[in-house]
Structure 1
């Protein structure tokens, strides 16, 4: 049984991972509901693997696994589980760092890939209610039309491209000029500080989690040696 400051670390680690585990379950439930009832509700891309339900299920499964390992390892003072949690969290941190570096280095390629995915999603506008709603909401929110511009819609320009929602606005050419890809890119750039700040906070918490787990596992191992040797 760990004592002193390590005991505080133990319970802090347990509470944090319990919250993470609950969040993971909530994401899995939300993803399952969306997948079963609203499979294509928020899918604006052409690839079903990138749809909201799949992303929620994947993220939820990861959070649940990490939360389970962290909770069990901390409360039972199990060396193997605690080390497994620390290793997985460290690997996740490295993957996130690698993704940020790759995103910065390959932003042009990623932007082109996103453009292609949006174009594929655009072709499904009339065949999926979810894609229709997603595109309409996106175009109204960002005041944009099509992927690069309104010509992407050819002759079937939706009413959500209109600057003001009234009958005949498409025929009168009162539509948004900018494409959605440029608007989304501008939104990301303008919110880069916020995204960077959130990412920094999350990374800091992960680093603290790894340090706490390593500290606890070291104490558990020391107690084990003191007891048996």
Structure 2
């Protein structure tokens, strides 16, 4: 009876670990596929990357790492391979430590992180229209958070197309992208010229037509309002990783125990 209960417990540990690893394995395959698709689409469109890190390449790298790590867990759990389970456990422990360390560094160096984030966002504003993926990402952020620019709507003067100067030959001189515009509820036709000349207006007047608040401020406010949600998701992910480590350690220990008993009985 005790042996039967022990086997049931072992099988529960084994297949629970396999299930978790398989779920992450599927997610990693999706990330790789999305990254490859985005990379191929960008190359066909002859788009030049303007950010420090190519998002498509980042998806592929993260997906490959997840694929390899979860493969070790899946195969090790099914085949009762203690060496693979130990490798999986060790790599997951390193990833967990790095995640905690990154969170601690981010918390301690909040001002530096904010400064770097502002620099990256300003660089994205400058490179707008040079990268289609970047352009779509900025438009999405400005629509989602109802913001314009990094600190305010006049940041768009840093872009060559929207630069507010008499020597600028662009039709969009002193303007902002259409994603900054305030859209009425009953508006059915998108006016892509609604942001033209908005930088020449004072903030009170411009606020009637466009969002004037900066995206950095809006994103920080969103993060503060949803701090519990973000913390909960992060804690849940870390807890899941700890559970997978515990399952891998339990299965490896059980396999060692069984093999030790076999050696004793044979001796």
TM-score (norm 1): 0.89
Q: Aligned ranges for residues 145-184 of structure 1 at < 5 Å?
A: 145-154=148-157, 155=164, 156=173, 157-164=176-183, 166=191, 167-171=193-197, 173=206, 174-184=209-219
Judge conservation of contact 1:69–1:81 (CA < 8 Å) in 2: yes
1:211 Cα deviation (Å)? Answer: 0.8
Structure with the bigger RCO (C-alpha within 8 Å, sep 6+) is 1
What number of residue pairs does the alignment pair up?
225
Larger radius of gyration: 2
Assess, with a 3 A threshold, how the Cα gap between structure 1 residues 217 and 54 changes in structure 2: closer, same or farther: same
Corresponding residue for 1:9?
13
Mind listing any 5+ residue stretches in structure 1 that lack a counterpart?
none
Mind listing any 5+ residue stretches in structure 2 that lack a counterpart?
1-5, 158-163, 165-172, 184-189, 199-205
1:58 Cα deviation (Å)? Answer: 2.5
Q: Does 1:142 align with 2:145?
A: yes
1:89-123 CA distance string (max 9 Å, x none): 11111111111111111111111101111111111
Judge conservation of contact 2:151–2:215 (CA < 8 Å) in 1: yes
Question: What SS class does the counterpart of residue 223 from structure 1 fall into?
Answer: helix
Distance 2:177 2:16 in 1: 52
Instruction: From 26, 31, 49, give the equivalent of 2:30.
Output: 26
Instruction: From 231, 251, 255, give the equivalent of 1:216.
Output: 251
Question: What SS class does the counterpart of residue 4 from structure 1 fall into?
Answer: helix
TM-score (norm 2): 0.77
1:46 Cα deviation (Å)? Answer: 5.0
